[in-house]
Amino acid sequence: MGFLSGRNPAIYFIILYIVVVAGIAFTGNIFVASAVGVFGSLFLYVIVALLMRTQVTKDFYVAGRSIGAIPIGSSIASNWMSGASFVSMAGAIAVLGYDSMPYITGWTLGYCIAAFMIAPFIRRSATYTVPEFVEKRAANWSIARAIAVLMLFIVSFTYLVAQLVATGVIIGRFLGLPAVLGAFLGSAIVILFAGTGGWRSVVWVQVTQYWILITAYWIAFLTAAYVAGIFKPWPHFGYGELLSQLESKEISFGLTAFTEPFTKVFGGGTGEINWILSALCLMLGTVGLPHVLSQFYLVRDVKTARYGVGWGLTFIALLYLTAPVYAILARSAFSSAWGMPIDQVKQLPWIQKWIPTGLIKITDLNGDGILQPAELSFHKDIVVVGMPDMFGLPWFIAMIVAIGGLAAALSTANGLLMVMTVGATRDIYKRFINPNVSERKEIWVGRAMLVILAIVSGFAGARALLDPTFSKYVALLVGWAFVFATASFTPIIILGIFWKGLNKYGTVAGMVAGMGVALPYVLSVGLFGVPPIVFFGHKIGTLAWGVVAFFVNLITATIVSIATKGEKANPPETIEFVESLKVPE
Amino acid sequence: MVGEKELVDVYERYWNRLKKITVIWMLAWTVPAIILELPANYLKNYKILSGIPLHWFMAAFVSIVIGIALIFLYAYVMEKTDREILGKS
């Protein structure tokens, strides 16, 4: 099955690609070499997508249910890690220190819940989409499917727009093209990946993109770590001294130390309770996101689903365990400028390069000509994007980082687009409009949906780049997606698998109650600036509140199901469906 | 040839074992997800590896590695259960 076997156009392309980029670099034109390098990586994905093209609906929707554990692990990882994970996460840690660590634990340990309670059963269900699963579980009630599809579209669409924005920014930053053009280019490229063979193409493109993005992240990281001298014996264990130096410098400048816990605002709240609950909400939300669940349909069998999630988390961890160290490296680079005369700081090559982009700002607030920490402000993206310059690494490291960031944004984008396409084709067109459609026509309907969705999201991405208010709402929605998933889908899916007694009344009541608790709080605290609830002196932010909504949903669904005769209210085919989930085929 | 009743018994046994394993693994999951992070204010006073505060290292490294180990262990134990009770190769 592997596309890397045998005589393969992809291999020839890679050799040609390296020769061409190196050839241009030798002529001394580094900018052109970078541009060719970054664009050339896109062609590799197109070749992979074309090799995997298909006309069979089962391949188009669920990659023929044939993917093995290590490939699905890579695909899970690149589907999961967005442009923001690659470009911004290390920077967010560099800004917030220990208080940002719910990103690290929260966006990884959700996969444990997926492995133990969800992935094997989703695979076993033999359904094609999450909304289909929900409908079958809710006694073939079509409204349940419609609600699930709507939820899938809201979450996936905002996420996709964020990915196209990231694509635009990366292309803009590295190639000097307008970011809006980059966003459209991103959506056009994704059409090529997904239109050729649906999930069968997308999954193998994602596998390719994972290995490219992780290699890029690690090349930049390891070279910077080498220059900073933290191979003692390995960067992930060797940064102790560097961190101690950084923290004593921070304290001498009157700042709180980098790893001092619970001093800053995270997810709109403060304190340890907020920290723990925010992390839990991110974990619970992970397994309620439709584009995460969809990957579990693609595997060969239940056993592969279990191991596949393990590989998925391993591959995710390769980036997530590295980001905190990355953050410390960057913060040390910044701190080395503190206390220097500002004129001298402005002569540093990397400061000179990045000040015009606006990602770094230097303002002499107290007018003493000496740089104080507060006088050097930086955008969180600079940590990954600017790292090669901070440590004086050669030009091609910056190019590799750009290729990796693009791979991260595109891999998430094509997964999201695919989830929406399958939702539009299978859950709307085939379910409600034309159930007797022929297989060949169905795939063409799918491709048409794909093109429409990609163009609409391309325009939304362009709008987000041009209009700061629109962009603010996209960012807010992306953050809230985890709260809404935690409040609505996660408890219902878990109950639905493990408890026959959950019936359609309980399902609806639980989801309504969960969202009824989550939505008002998120809107009032997150958008209208109402002060959050304070619990033992810890402010409960919007993310942390998601856990409350989770339990409200769980309890309401249970009580309402019992009150409406529980299991007896379920028709025999629903009971049969739940029974069929229990035992691997 | 197994009778239908025996087959139902086998499935029942399999599902009971699976439920027990799920409960154990979800309890184990609370260790990296919650328990290791709770004493952060206490662990911050301990430095390991020449200067890394322990609470930071728990969140930034240890908990995730434990999470990975738990998933692979689960997959292995379930594979064994499949073989034992369902006779799958």
* A6 — pLDDT class (breaks 50, 70, 90): very low
For residue range A176-188, list pLDDT tens digits in order: 778 888 888 888 8
- C-beta atoms of B67 and A238 within 8 A: no
CATH of the domain at A363: 1.20.1730.10
- C-beta atoms of A261 and B41 within 8 A: yes
Kind of pairing, strands A360-362 and A376-378? Answer: antiparallel
For residue range A127-175, list pLDDT tens digits in order: 989 899 989 998 888 888 888 888 888 888 888 888 888 888 888 777 7
- Among the listed ranges A299-303, A346-350, A542-546, which one has the minimum average pLDDT value? A346-350
Residues from chain B contacting residue A584 (CB–CB below 8 Å): 82, 86, 88
Q: How far is A235 from chain B (nearest CA, A)?
A: 11
Residue with more model confidence, A314 or A40: A314
ipTM score over 0.85, yes or no: yes
One domain, residues A179 and A194: yes
The average confidence (pLDDT) of chain A is 89
Residues from chain A contacting residue B50 (CB–CB below 8 Å): 232, 240-241, 244
CA separation for the pair B25, A499 (Å, rounded): 18
Tally A–B CB contacts below 8 A.
140
Q: What is the pLDDT of residue A526?
A: 85
Residue with more model confidence, A7 or A40: A40
Would you call B65 an interface residue with chain A, using a CB distance cutoff of 8 Å? yes
Question: Residue B8 domain-assigned?
Answer: no
Tokens of A366: 């107290």
- C-beta atoms of B78 and A105 within 8 A: no
From the list A469, A479, A454, the residue with the least C-alpha distance to A161 is A454
Q: What is the pLDDT of residue A298?
A: 92
From the list A37, A39, A38, A32, the residue with the least C-alpha distance to A19 is A37
For residue A251, give the DSSP letter.
H
Domain that holds residue A12: 1-51
Tokens of B21: 């394993």
* A543 — pLDDT class (breaks 50, 70, 90): very high
CA separation for the pair A468, A219 (Å, rounded): 34
Would you call B42 an interface residue with chain A, using a CB distance cutoff of 8 Å? no
- C-beta atoms of A310 and B53 within 8 A: no
Q: What is the pLDDT of residue B89?
A: 60
Q: Is the pLDDT of residue A59 over 50?
A: yes
One domain, residues A116 and A131: yes
Residue with more model confidence, A189 or A282: A282
Interface test with B, best of A272, A306, A329, A495 (most B CBs within 10 A): A306
For residue range A491-500, list pLDDT tens digits in order: 999 999 999 9
Question: Residue B76 domain-assigned?
Answer: yes
Mean pLDDT of A449-454: 91
Residue of A nearest to B78 (CA): A303
- The closest CB to that of A303, out of B40, B63, B82, belongs to B82
Kind of pairing, strands A534-535 and B47-48? Answer: unpaired
Question: Residue B15 domain-assigned?
Answer: no
Interface test with B, best of A278, A296, A583 (most B CBs within 10 A): A583
Would you call B67 an interface residue with chain A, using a CB distance cutoff of 8 Å? yes
Phi, psi angles (nearest 5°) of residue A506: -60, -40
CA separation for the pair A317, A345 (Å, rounded): 35
CA separation for the pair A262, A259 (Å, rounded): 9
Domain that holds residue B68: 25-86
For residue range A64-88, list pLDDT tens digits in order: 888 999 999 999 999 999 888 888 8
Q: What is the pLDDT of residue A443?
A: 86
Residue with more model confidence, A466 or B34: B34
Would you call B23 an interface residue with chain A, using a CB distance cutoff of 8 Å? no
**Cβ(B37)–Cβ(B58) below 8 Å:** yes
Domain count, chain A: 2
- What are the E-state strand segments in B5-87? 47-48, 52-53
Question: Residue B71 domain-assigned?
Answer: yes
Question: Residue B3 domain-assigned?
Answer: no
Q: Is the pLDDT of residue A5 over 80?
A: no
Tell me what percent of the residues of chain A surpass a pLDDT of 70: 99
Interface test with B, best of A76, A109, A301 (most B CBs within 10 A): A109
One domain, residues A17 and A96: no
**Helix, strand, coil abundance in chain A, percent, nearest 5:** 75, 5, 20
Residue of B nearest to A328 (CA): B52
Q: Which residue has the tokens 């007797």?
A: A436
Beta bridge partners of B48: B52
Highest mean pLDDT among A156-160, A502-506, B60-64: B60-64
- The closest CB to that of B56, out of A117, A259, A313, belongs to A259
- C-beta atoms of B64 and A117 within 8 A: no
For residue range A403-447, list pLDDT tens digits in order: 999 999 999 998 999 999 999 998 899 888 989 888 888 888 888
Is-cis flag, bond preceding A233, omega within 30? Answer: yes
Q: How far is A467 from chain B (nearest CA, A)?
A: 36
CA separation for the pair A16, A390 (Å, rounded): 31
The helix (run of H) or strand (run of E) holding residue A116 is none
Q: What is the pLDDT of residue B36?
A: 96
CA separation for the pair A317, B68 (Å, rounded): 9
Q: How far is B31 from chain A (nearest CA, A)?
A: 11
Q: What is the pLDDT of residue A391?
A: 87
Residues from chain A contacting residue B64 (CB–CB below 8 Å): 104-105, 108-109, 313, 317, 320-321
For residue A568, give the DSSP letter.
G
What's the gap between Cα A358 and its chain centre?
Answer: 25
One domain, residues A19 and A101: no
Q: What is the pLDDT of residue A480?
A: 87
Domain count, chain B: 1
- C-beta atoms of A105 and B64 within 8 A: yes
For residue range A219-249, list pLDDT tens digits in order: 999 999 999 999 989 999 999 999 999 999 9
**Cβ(A124)–Cβ(A135) below 8 Å:** no
Q: How far is B49 from chain A (nearest CA, A)?
A: 6
* A567 — pLDDT class (breaks 50, 70, 90): confident
* A7 — pLDDT class (breaks 50, 70, 90): low
CA separation for the pair A329, A445 (Å, rounded): 49
Mean pLDDT of A19-46: 86
Residues from chain B contacting residue A240 (CB–CB below 8 Å): 47-52
- The closest CB to that of A306, out of B11, B56, B75, belongs to B75
One domain, residues A13 and A98: no
Question: Residue B80 domain-assigned?
Answer: yes
One domain, residues A28 and A175: no
Q: What is the pLDDT of residue A1?
A: 43
One domain, residues A306 and A426: yes
CA separation for the pair B50, B54 (Å, rounded): 11
Q: How far is A489 from chain B (nearest CA, A)?
A: 19
Mean pLDDT of A34-51: 86
- C-beta atoms of A313 and B68 within 8 A: yes
* A190 — pLDDT class (breaks 50, 70, 90): confident
